[in-house]
Chain A
Amino acid sequence: MPHPIAEAVYLGFLLLTLASACIVVFSDNIVRAAFALLLTFFGVAGAYVFLGADFLAGTQLLIYVGGILVLLLFAVMLTHRISTSQVSSESRNRGRAAFTAILAFAGIVFSELCVPWRHKPLPDQPTTAPLGQALLTDYLLPFEAISVLLLVVMVGAAVIARRDWRRPGA
Chain B
Amino acid sequence: MILSLQPTLLVAAALFSLGLYSVLSRRNAVAVLMGIELMLNSANLQFAAFSRFATGRLDGQVFALFVIVLAAAEAAVALAIILALYHNARSIQVDEADRLRDEP
Contact = CB atoms under 8 A, between A and B. Distances in A.
Given A97-B21, A102-B17, A119-B54, A109 B68 contact: no
Contact of A105 (B13, B34, B79): B13
A79 B86 contact: yes
A67 B5 CA distance: 29
A10 B45 CA distance: 13
Contact of B53 (A11, A100, A119): A119
Contacts, number: 244
B9 A30 contact: no
A101 B33 contact: no
Interface in B10-34: 10-22, 24-28, 30-31, 33-34
B65 A76 contact: no
A112 to B, nearest CB: 5
B68 A1 contact: no
B2 A79 contact: no
Contact of B79 (A8, A50, A74, A131): A74
A56 B65 contact: yes
Contact of A7 (B1, B13, B95): B1
Interface size class of chain B, counting residues whose CB lies under 8 Å from the partner chain: 35 or more
A131 B15 contact: no
A146 interface: yes
Residue of B2, B38, B54 with most partner-chain A CB within 10 A: B2
Interface of A: 1-2, 6-8, 10-11, 14, 17-18, 21-22, 24-25, 30, 33-34, 37, 40-41, 44, 47-48, 50-53, 55-56, 59-60, 63-64, 67-68, 71-72, 74-76, 78-79, 89-94, 96-98, 100-102, 104-105, 108-109, 112-113, 117-123, 127, 130-131, 134-135, 138-139, 142, 146, 149-150, 153-154, 156-158, 160-161, 163, 165
Given A14-B7, A79-B83, 15 more contacts: A11-B2, A30-B28, A30-B31, A33-B34, A40-B41, A52-B51, A53-B61, A59-B65, A71-B76, A93-B24, A100-B24, A101-B20, A102-B17, A131-B61, A146-B69
